[in-house]
Amino acid sequence: MKIEVLGAGCKKCSDVANQIAAVAEQQGAAIELVKVTDMARILDYQVMSTPAVVVDGVVKSTGVVPSADTIAQWLAEGQ
């Protein structure tokens, strides 16, 4: 499962990436976590507010730090 965190590298973007990594480790889920800071690539997803999370090419969240429960649900859906 490929999870992309889209954003300029702000604190919220780092928080999202860290939260995803922690939940994946807790669940033993194998993920590829990629931080995307290139604005052109972010706009390819038509995302206007960051941080945003893309799971296997599908935008799952924009403009918020998702909860651990939400992230766990995404991971469960991908397995």
Catalytic residue positions? 10, 13
> Measuring CA to CA, how many Å separate 48 from each of 10, 39, 45, 51?
15, 10, 9, 9
Rounded to whole angstroms, the Cα distance separating 19 from 70 reads 11
| Nearest CA among 13, 15, 19 for reference residue 51 | 13
